[in-house]
């Protein structure tokens, strides 16, 4: 008697969704298993937030700036997740020898990176929520939401654009090989400044703030601050409606750019056969 195993071959949308789930699951479960990471990922950002809070209170800044700092500290979770767990991810996968498996697999690179984004967003969202709750409790920050629908739309569009940027730059970091580590370190602190993590981006003057708007967090945080803080609109860079429109444009730009960059990277890997090697 011959036993034959029935093999089911998935394709299309089903394969894409299975890829997303398969890549997101290890990140979600892995973070929950290592509880000590959660502790340090909360304590260290709170210390950074505290430093800015004490500076603002020492110079007699308006109390609304304290809320800006707490929100900025919470949003660093998403930026760091994109920078280290998205942009430089393919480079690290190449160094570990996994990238060739990704290239040969029948699933799309977009599905793999989207799974990474979903898993990373799950962990970063937990960290941001805890930082917001703890920071608001410690420093007495109050919120007054103007529109829940606009707030939800701004947050989701910011995440789509931000993780689209991460997927696009992951190909760039991969092509630059070992320079990816230096680029990741170089990009971390300047983004804190340009995006106005701890102060209103309006203070950077119009043209500097307009240039920084290419980073989704700039428009996202500015719009959310206008929507959740009393008198937040007086410190806003642009109106919320305009910033939502900009975020829509950035979402389309970065997602399409990510698809084009990943397709180019796959073609390059197939044509040259060297992109997946640890030394180039």
pLDDT digits (tens, 9 = 90+) for 31-61: 666 666 666 667 777 888 888 899 998 998 8
Q: What is the pLDDT of residue 251?
A: 92
- Which two three-digit tokens encode residue 84? 């280290």
Q: Would you say the C-alpha torsion 205, 211, 215, 216 has a positive or negative sign? A: positive
Per-residue confidence (pLDDT) for residue 34, from 0 to 100: 66
pLDDT at 228: 92
Distances from the Cα of 194 to the Cα of 73, 166, 191, 197, angstroms: 15, 17, 5, 8
**Secondary structure letter of residue 107 according to DSSP:** S
CA distance 97 to 30: 20
Mean pLDDT of 250-270: 84
Q: Where are the domains of the chain?
A: 16-272
The pLDDT tens digits of the residues spanning 175-204 come to: 776 666 677 777 778 888 888 888 888 888
- Residue 109 pLDDT > 80, yes or no? no
Task: Please indicate, yes or no, whether the overall pTM of this predicted structure exceeds 0.85.
Answer: no
pLDDT band (50, 70, 90) for residue 277: low
Q: What is the mean pLDDT of residues 206-223?
A: 90
Q: According to the model, what pLDDT value does residue 249 have?
A: 94
């Amino acid at each position: 008697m011959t036993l034959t195993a029935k093999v089911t071959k998935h394709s299309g949308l089903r394969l894409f969704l299975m890829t997303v789930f398969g890549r997101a699951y290890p990140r979600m479960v892995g973070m929950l298993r290592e509880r000590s990471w959660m502790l340090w990922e909360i304590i260290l950002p709170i210390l950074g937030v505290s430093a800015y809070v004490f500076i603002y209170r020492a110079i007699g800044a308006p109390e609304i700036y304290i809320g800006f700092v707490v929100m900025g500290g919470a949003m660093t979770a998403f930026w760091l997740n994109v920078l280290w767990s998205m942009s430089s991810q393919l480079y690290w996968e190449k160094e570990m020898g996994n990238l060739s498996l990704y290239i040969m697999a029948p699933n799309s690179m977009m599905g793999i990176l989207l799974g990474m984004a979903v898993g990373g967003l799950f962990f970063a969202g937990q960290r941001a929520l805890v930082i917001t709750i703890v920071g608001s409790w410690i420093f007495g920050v109050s919120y007054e939401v103007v529109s829940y629908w606009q707030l939800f739309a701004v947050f989701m569009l910011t995440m789509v654009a931000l993780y689209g940027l991460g997927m696009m730059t992951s190909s760039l970091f991969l092509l630059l090989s070992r320079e990816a580590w230096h680029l990741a370190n170089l990009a971390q602190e300047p983004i804190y400044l340009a995006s106005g993590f701890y102060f209103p981006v309006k203070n950077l003057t119009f043209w500097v703030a307009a240039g920084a708007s290419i980073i989704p967090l700039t428009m996202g945080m500015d719009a959310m601050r206008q929507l959740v803080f009393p008198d937040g609109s007086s410190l806003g860079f642009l109106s919320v409606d305009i910033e939502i429109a900009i975020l829509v444009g950035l979402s389309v730009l970065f997602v399409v750019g990510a698809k084009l960059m990943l397709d180019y990277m796959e073609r390059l890997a197939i044509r040259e056969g060297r992109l997946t090697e640890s030394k180039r």
